[in-house]
Structure 1
Amino acid sequence: MKASFSLALVLGLFMLAGCGSQQAETMVLLDEKISEVKISKSKGFGDMNEDPFLILKDEDSLNLLEKAITSAVKQSEKVDTTDSDYDVIVEYESNKGLPTHGLHLWLGKENEQSMFMYLTDDSVYLTSAAMTQKLRELLEN
């Protein structure tokens, strides 16, 4: 009896630990090297401005943007998605006819989170406030 109780207790603890360790869903990009990221002033939700004011090609900037995008965490609650600040187009190096990723970016103010959204989806992903600061330095210089 004690052995079966102990076994049930251990299994219960494993199940609880498994439930508590669920990973938050983050944005994904293709598993390909990014060649450039084009950033333009947004024309509004659902539309993509293809006239960039900034084209990033240097490795540091590309790594920063890739980290900002892929570390942004999906939000389950609805968020106001009117009037995005920027449109972001991620292009890949490979000549395999890979698609680009179109994203909207709402750049947070100092000490606030920023928001990303895929052009083709209405799910919202939030960055950390620290990442917002890095994005602000990159985009506003």
Structure 2
Amino acid sequence: MTQMTASFKALLMAAAVALPAMAFAADPVMMKDGMMTDHKGMTVYTFDKDMGGKSMCNGECAKMWPPMMAPAGAKAEGKFMPIKRDDGMMQWSYDGKPLYTFMKDEKPGDMKGEGFKDMWHMPKH
């Protein structure tokens, strides 16, 4: 009985570690009212300076435009793919463009970043 209890606990621990990464494996974003959002309902954006699957938004830029971080072990699915940032962390991209949210979007549905400096846009899904 003790052997089975220990095995069950080990199985639960493995599931607890694996499930967060699996939750975003298929689609790290959702569609809401025709726009792409993160799982909190916040609008998602791309940056025109990003090229070749590489994020050019680091440092102060990343504070204003938080990258949509991908969990360790995230797998590509369709047009969604994790990319490696300069700091070594993983970030979600869509169709090769890294994805971000915007600090000035205060609540789900805000789109204050759309067209910001003619360089930030909501991706078309």
Larger RCO: Structure 1 or Structure 2 (Cα < 8 Å, ≥ 6 residues apart)? 2
Which structure dedicates a bigger proportion of its chain to helix? 1
Which structure dedicates a bigger proportion of its chain to strand? 1
Q: Which has the larger radius of gyration?
A: 1
Does TM, scored on the shorter chain, surpass 0.5? no
Normalising by the residue count of structure 1, what TM-score does the alignment of the two structures yield?
A: 0.28
